[in-house]
Amino acid sequence: MSLKRFLWRLPKIIRNWHWFFIQNLPNKTGKWLRARWAKKYFGSVGKNLNLHEGFAIQNPDQCFVGENVIIARGCHFNAGGGLIIKDYVGFGPGVKVWTVNHKIDNLDVPIPLQGSEYGKVIIEEGAWIAANAIILPNPKRDIVIGKGAVIGAGSVLAKSVPPYSICMGNPARVIGFRDKLKKDQTSQTGSGTEEKEE
Ligand SMILES: CC(C)(COP(=O)(O)OP(=O)(O)OC[C@H]1O[C@@H](n2cnc3c(N)ncnc32)[C@H](O)[C@@H]1OP(=O)(O)O)[C@@H](O)C(=O)NCCC(=O)NCCS
């Protein structure tokens, strides 16, 4: 690598080494340092970001995060096409959010040489993306996960979904709505509010 190129890449190299040392630090110190890192390198971050161990991100400057967002262990985001996460969104462990695709339409050029296409992902307020779900981009239109929607564990979502919907499977489909669930649960007992580790 030439000196000029090295100097041009230096901020990114510093950013990556900084992340390497704090990525898996446990407890409150780790969370505090990761939130500070995000404040410096994300597009923007609201207060109370709860960023757990093992998080990975490409293009953090294109990631815009609201307030009181929880990102559990081992999530991986590529924000190159724009990733907007509104207030009170929760990500379960191992969630992947992709906003970049390889182009694949030219049969004469190897896929890694065809370049990329981008699609924005917008996750509205209070949505919950459960463990190991994968959110994919669509270069033709934004993917919008509606306010308060739930994306079930292990789902592969490639379409927008409406507010308060419950979606699951591969490909993920809307199987119901949270407000309907509430009406159906009139006889249910137990508060289920005790705090346990995620
Ligand atoms: C999305 C979720 C909340 C839905 O819960 P629910 O509305 O109570 O749904 P139910 O358990 O009544 O299941 C409804 C149907 O969907 C199926 N189902 C439930 N979750 C599913 C999932 N993630 N993927 C595919 N199918 C699923 C059930 O088998 C059931 O099928 P059936 O109608 O054929 O019997 C829950 O299934 C889930 O994915 N939880 C995530 C847990 C997690 O990630 N925890 C980490 C902490 S952040």
> What CATH code is carried by the domain that includes residue 57?
2.160.10.10
Given a contact cutoff of 8 angstroms between Cβ atoms, the answer to whether 125 and 86 are in contact is yes
User: Can you give the residue range of the structural domain that contains 170?
Assistant: 3-197
Q: Looking at residue 9, what is its pLDDT? A: 82
Mutate to test the pocket of ligand 1, among 88, 150, 168, 178 (most ligand atoms within 8 A of CB): 168
- pLDDT digit string (tens) for the chain, length 198 residues: 788 887 878 888 888 888 888 999 998 999 999 999 999 999 999 999 999 999 999 999 999 999 999 999 999 999 999 999 999 999 999 999 999 999 999 999 999 999 999 999 999 999 999 999 999 999 999 999 999 999 999 999 999 999 999 999 999 999 999 987 766 665 454 444 455 665
Residue 196's pLDDT is: 63
Output the residue whose Cα is nearest ligand 1's atom 17: 168
Cα 168 to ligand 1 centroid, rounded to whole Å: 7
Q: Given this model, what pLDDT does residue 4 score?
A: 82
Distance of CA 3 to the CA centre of its chain: 35
Number of separate domains in the chain: 1
